[in-house]
Amino acid sequence: MSDKRPQVSFSNELGLRIMAESTTPAPISSSENALAVRRYLNELHDRITTAAERVETAKFRRDSWQRPEGGGGETRILCEGSVFERAGVSFSHVFGAKMPQSASNVRPEMADAPFEAMGLSLVFHPRNPYVPTTHCNVRFLVATPPNGPAHWWFGGGFDLTPYYPFDHDVLHWHRTARAACELFGPGVYGKYKEWCDRYFFLPHRNETRGVGGLFFDDFNENGFAHSFSFMRSVGDHFLPAYMPILERRMLEPWGERERNFQLYRRGRYVEFNLVCDRGTLFGLQSRGRTESILMSLPPLARWDYDWHPEPETPEARLYEQFLRPRDYLAEL
């Protein structure tokens, strides 16, 4: 007689058929819709890597990895380039027996549920202080509580962290973010722009991380096709939002003053990622690959005790005009 426990089947409108032991879930990636998400994320991975290498002399190192608890991914990392001091673009597809606490805290009904997550995440830390740091993430999650149907949702967004902001660049960034949302309703850009301002906020500093962009989560409106289309639109608008800014500013002359300010402000980036960011917590709590999770950190940063910019300087302008929520499209 076999001592294996009986298998339990769960299904939902995605057509997902999840056959799982009570201790180890099987992946949902054989479903048609989940495969479509994975194909899109892999294609976006290639597209963004190619665009970054087009302006660089260095190339990405490609690092495939497996997660013992289930799943894996590929991290592409570029270090010490002529344009990017560090650039990381990572795809992951992981699954496990228990939803991490950082996700289940906001979904108590999903606590202890088997889960599967796939996503693409990137952070670019340019060498030139006049080029902003940027981040983008798009993701898809499914949780299958033992006594209920599977639940799925999308999340993601992109945000911009300039050191020396240019009004033209900030306007371009937010106009492109608005364009990503236009086909999905008149209030969508405003809703997810405001959510981005709330999310990328350092409460211990009382300042935003940068000038924002878009952030959305728990998105499953109007069925799978609509939700997937919105996630793709956000992903597809990242390069048109960022690359023109990069190409305009990458040859700006800079010196020690600008470099020191860039390193100081990078310290805020480190603080947010290690203290506030749910994505970092999700990766660590799900026992993801630590090197890939922490690729978002800059290679160098600095902290100066009780430092404040001199009045009427470009550094002061960042603090006075940009490190708070603003309606940039109306005010600039």
Residues that are catalytic: 135
- C-alpha angle with apex 74: 72 to 75, nearest 5 degrees? 125
- C-alpha angle with apex 244: 280 to 298, nearest 5 degrees? 30
- Mean pLDDT to the nearest integer, 71-91: 96
- Mean pLDDT to the nearest integer, 172-195: 97
Look at residue 309 and tell me whether its pLDDT is greater than 90: yes
- φ, ψ of residue 329 to 5 degrees: the values are -65, -25
Burial (Cβ within 10 Å: 0-12, 13-18, ≥19) of residue 312:
exposed
CA distance linking residue 112 with residue 97, whole number of Å: 7
Other C-beta atoms lying within 10 Å of the C-beta of residue 56 = 16
CA distance linking residue 8 with residue 17, whole number of Å: 10
Q: Which helix (H) or strand (E) holds 218?
A: strand 212-219
Token pair, residue 302, equals 């600095």
Instruction: Give tens-digit pLDDT for 9-61.
Output: 223 333 333 323 323 334 444 488 999 999 999 999 999 999 999 999 999 99
Token pair, residue 295, equals 């690729």
Give me the pLDDT at residue 28, please. 47
Bridge partners of 126, per DSSP, are 84
Token pair, residue 35, equals 């495969």
Look at residue 2 and tell me whether its pLDDT is greater than 60: no
Give me the pLDDT at residue 17, please. 31
Instruction: Give tens-digit pLDDT for 244-264.
Output: 999 999 999 999 999 999 999
Q: Which helix (H) or strand (E) holds 119?
A: strand 115-126
Q: What percent of the chain has pLDDT over 90?
A: 73
SS3 content of the chain, % helix, strand, coil (to 5): 40, 25, 35
CA distance linking residue 282 with residue 290, whole number of Å: 11
Q: The whole model's pTM is what?
A: 0.89
Residue 126's Cβ-side half-sphere holds a number of Cα atoms within 13 Å equal to 30
Work out the pLDDT band at 235, boundaries 50, 70, 90: very high
Instruction: Give how far the C-alpha of residue 169 lies from the chain's centroid of Cα atoms, to the nearest Å.
Output: 20
Tell me which of 22-26, 98-102, 234-238, 326-330 is least confident. 22-26
Q: Token match 């603080």: residue?
A: 271
CA distance linking residue 53 with residue 246, whole number of Å: 13
The pLDDT mean for the chain works out to: 88
Chain length of the chain: 332
Work out the pLDDT band at 146, boundaries 50, 70, 90: confident
